[in-house]
């Protein structure tokens, strides 16, 4: 997702309208803000993975709680995002 947002940002300018998978029509600033959320999520969860925390421990810690109000539709969405980020490190 981070690489995808990087590509969107390279291919866009301030007049570009971006059709995203969920939500309203976006612009370049919206994509940049989304990218920052992804980077924050990655960095926080990567630190916990490196500390040896299990997926369940990380979910229980709610390391992205401050981001959830804006970026998660509900508690399950927040949990799913945390799990997805956590599991992305297993593929490395």
User: What are the residue ranges spanned by the domains of the chain?
Assistant: 2-91
Spatial contact of 47 and 67, defined as CB atoms under 8 Å apart: no
Spatial contact of 16 and 27, defined as CB atoms under 8 Å apart: yes
Instruction: Note the pLDDT tens digit of each residue in 12-51.
Output: 999 999 998 878 899 999 999 999 999 999 999 999 999 9
3-state helix, strand, coil in the chain (%, to 5): 70, 5, 25
**What separation, in Å, do the N-terminal and C-terminal C-alpha atoms of the chain show?**
15
pTM of structure: 0.90
pLDDT at 67 over 90: yes
């Amino acid at each position: 997702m981070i690489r995808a947002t990087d590509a969107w940002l390279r291919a866009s300018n301030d007049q570009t309208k971006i059709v995203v998978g969920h939500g309203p029509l976006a612009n370049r600033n919206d994509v940049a803000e989304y990218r920052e959320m992804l980077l924050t999520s990655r960095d926080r969860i990567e630190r916990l993975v490196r500390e040896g925390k299990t997926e369940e421990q990380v979910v229980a810690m709610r390391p992205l709680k401050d981001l959830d109000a804006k970026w998660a539709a509900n508690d399950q969405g927040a949990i799913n995002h945390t799990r997805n980020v956590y599991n992305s490190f297993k593929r490395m």
